[in-house]
Structure 1
Amino acid sequence: MEVASESGIASRNLETGRHWRASAARPRLSVGFILARRFTLCAFANFVDVLRLAADEGDRSRQILCRWAILSDTMSALPSSSGVLVQPNERLGDPRDFDYIVVVGGLIDEIPNLSPEYTRYLRRAAEAGVPLVGVCTGAFILHRAGLMDGYRCCISWFHHADFLEQFDGLEPVSDQIFIVDRDRLTCSGGASSAHLAAYLVEKHVGCAQASKSLHIMIIDEAMRAEKPQPGIPLTLRTDDPVVKKALLLMQQNFDMPLSVAEIARRLGTGKRQLERHFRHALGSSPQAACLEMRLSLALHLLEHSEKSVALIAAECGFCDTSHLSRMFRRRFAATPQEFRKAHPAASLAEA
């Protein structure tokens, strides 16, 4: 029997120790970020902070269990939609260095201005089998690069009409906070970015680390992908692009409703022409359509929140509670107070 020398055993032990330390030091989850020009800062911050808080014990922010980097072709500071600049810390390299490449979008008008270098990098990542993540309008960028064909895609209800205009024949999902479809992950942005990041942390690092991140961020618990998006999607459906844009403008200004003349001005059309579009598409006037949406919002808030009737009236653009009560009774055959008394369980469940 051959006996190994002490020096040989020591050498093998040293090599084993090096291998163990290298494995232990390797992060369990690594993410490369591509930030579009005028990206949405909160969507990026929510995503990266979940990684940061899961990456180390306490609040020390060391990249131990998770690693992340902001990638760039030029290393120039990147402006967010709020004007805050973010400095990249790595040049575009081998996408296989990361477990995921996350594209954070922002303002719709800036999407065509993405550098071709980023598009080539994303295509290389797809060819290498690296999963791609679209955050906020990042899904638009992935589609423009030809990387979402055959995949389901999550889009904010706020951008649903924009997506349909740009990508004919594709039907995005706007009633979930995020979607995981094989090696493509998309989310609607905002707070949903934190939940998608928590999903990845739970998958690769652990449930405890994902929960810890969310709790520190004052988020009660991780939401599953199929959780409906917050906010009120359009209750009136139409294929008329002019009416769609008008409805979105109305929805964005519920608290201070715009006049029909102002909506027409913003859309670059005439007041009478806008009214003709509404009569043809919905069989109603713009004023009636706006009132219908405001009352639907009031109904939703009465059923799914504990906000006072006075506050709901203000948020829905009614002069006062009396105005809301008159319109609400006319539409739903009950006052807001009567409706809430009849639906106490739903209100408390959503509180």
Structure 2
Amino acid sequence: MHRIGFLISDGFQIMALASQSVFEYANMTAGEPFYVISNFSVGGGEVRSSLGVSVGTRSLRGRGDVDTWMVAGVNDPVISPAPAEILAFLRKGGRRARRVAGICTGAFVLAEAGLLAQRRATTHWAYGREMQRRFPDIHVEEDRIYIVDGPIWTSAGMTAGLDLALAMVEKDLGADMARSVAHKLVMHQRRAGGQSQHSEMLDLAPKSDRIQNALNYARQNLHRSLTVEELAETIHLSPRQFSRVFTQETGQSPAKAIEGLRLEAARLMIEQGRHPLDVIARETGFRDRRHMREAFMRGFGRPPQAVRRDARMGD
């Protein structure tokens, strides 16, 4: 039996508790209560989230043994620092646990408690630079889904906490169990820890369905050359009209946007599998491996091999 304690304080981000579903469904899949989940706060009783929903908690003073601590974040860790009592507890009790995790900006709590010193860590992308500025002894990797550094786990924002919890299930109970849990929770996949927090499709954010449809077509046919003429034809515009409207709605030229989609697809294949780089380049529409490397250097500032290495380290 593995005891997991969720440590929360007033104003916590309620999305952190969504990761409890991962452990719940692991128990259901296993057919027995492998995980025992409890919510804790400094004094116990009800704790109010940033949404206004109150959650019942146990006091840290009567916590008993806890194997894994999951520390919830808040919407803004700069204006809502962790209570001193929680920091004092983590400095002592946290080190006795099997592992400690900071979900989203919960990583700031671990940092303030000194648990991240000289370690790799991540947090919500909006606060990565602030964490690095405030805690220069931490190696902050702000574009990661989650990072495991010894007994310390940290995740990016919001739904990344689900990926972190699923990775814990995989470590505890195996890959087959993690896949089964992900399937039951209708999670598309367990994202690798080294995967980027950002989505090219979200960044483009077209304003009309027709440009969105063109982008969907492009993403499904990245192995093709995808000329402006071909994309324009899919939404019944002339190439000139298509280029003008596309740039107006996305702020990018079609060529630049398509390269971004190719990069995102290639990066995902690199992070999730072990396909040779030549195969990945061909499947995502690059002329060859060298062309893909040049695009990676422009887009990410590092070659595909470094992305693959970082993804393996993130797991």
Q: How far apart are residue 30 of structure 1 and its match?
A: 1.9
The equivalent of 1:325 in structure 2 is 246
Amino acid corresponding to residue 32 of structure 1 in structure 2: G
Amino acid corresponding to residue 147 of structure 1 in structure 2: L
Where do residues 78-157 of structure 1 align in structure 2 (5 Å cutoff)? 78-88=47-57, 90-93=58-61, 97-109=65-77, 112-157=80-125
The equivalent of 1:201 in structure 2 is 169
Residues 274-309 of structure 1 show CA distances to partners (whole Å, capped at 9, x for unaligned) of: xxxxxxxxxxxxxxxxxxxxxxxxx99886579xx9
Coordinate RMSD, CA, aligned? 4.2
Residues 78-132 of structure 1 show CA distances to partners (whole Å, capped at 9, x for unaligned) of: 22222222221x2214777121111010222576543222112211124425421
1:191 pairs with 2:163: no
Q: How far apart are residue 329 of structure 1 and its match?
A: 11
Q: How far apart are residue 174 of structure 1 and its match?
A: 1.8
1:65 pairs with 2:34: yes
Answer whether contact 1:95 1:101 (CA < 8 A) is retained: no
CA spacing shift, 1:78–1:338, aligned 2, 3 Å: closer
CA spacing shift, 1:111–1:345, aligned 2, 3 Å: same
The equivalent of 1:230 in structure 2 is 198
Match of 2:24 among 37, 45, 52: 52
Helix, strand or coil at the partner of 1:212: helix
Answer whether contact 1:95 1:124 (CA < 8 A) is retained: no
Match of 1:219 among 184, 187, 198: 187
Q: Which moved more, 1:75-84 or 1:210-219?
A: 75-84
Answer whether contact 2:125 2:142 (CA < 8 A) is retained: yes
Answer whether contact 2:14 2:51 (CA < 8 A) is retained: yes
Amino acid corresponding to residue 43 of structure 2 in structure 1: T
Amino acid corresponding to residue 67 of structure 1 in structure 2: V
CA spacing shift, 1:211–1:159, aligned 2, 3 Å: same
Answer whether contact 1:37 1:110 (CA < 8 A) is retained: no
Answer whether contact 1:201 1:210 (CA < 8 A) is retained: yes
Residues 8-53 of structure 1 show CA distances to partners (whole Å, capped at 9, x for unaligned) of: xxxxxxxxxxxxxxxxxxx1x32111124322222321x1100011
The equivalent of 1:173 in structure 2 is 141
Answer whether contact 1:136 1:156 (CA < 8 A) is retained: yes
Residues 118-175 of structure 1 show CA distances to partners (whole Å, capped at 9, x for unaligned) of: 1122111244254211110011111111111111001222222332343346441122
CA spacing shift, 1:180–1:224, aligned 2, 3 Å: same
Match of 1:40 among 9, 13, 19: 13
Task: Please give the alpha-carbon distance, in whole angstroms, between the structure 2 residues aligned to 1:53 and 1:338.
Answer: 39
Helix, strand or coil at the partner of 1:101: strand
CA spacing shift, 1:73–1:333, aligned 2, 3 Å: closer
Amino acid corresponding to residue 50 of structure 2 in structure 1: S
Helix, strand or coil at the partner of 2:120: coil
Gaps of 5+ in 1: 1-26, 233-250, 257-298, 311-319
Amino acid corresponding to residue 158 of structure 2 in structure 1: G
The equivalent of 2:292 in structure 1 is none
Answer whether contact 2:122 2:154 (CA < 8 A) is retained: yes
Q: Normalising by the residue count of structure 2, what TM-score does the alignment of the two structures yield?
A: 0.63
Helix, strand or coil at the partner of 2:147: strand
Task: Please give the alpha-carbon distance, in whole angstroms, between the structure 2 residues aligned to 1:339 and 1:110.
Answer: 33
Task: Please give the alpha-carbon distance, in whole angstroms, between the structure 1 residues aligned to 2:66 and 2:259.
Answer: 56
The equivalent of 1:294 in structure 2 is none
Answer whether contact 2:42 2:85 (CA < 8 A) is retained: yes
The equivalent of 2:303 in structure 1 is none
Task: Please give the alpha-carbon distance, in whole angstroms, between the structure 2 residues aligned to 1:63 and 1:38.
Answer: 33
The equivalent of 1:210 in structure 2 is 178
Q: How many residues align?
A: 245
Amino acid corresponding to residue 131 of structure 1 in structure 2: R
Answer whether contact 1:103 1:133 (CA < 8 A) is retained: yes
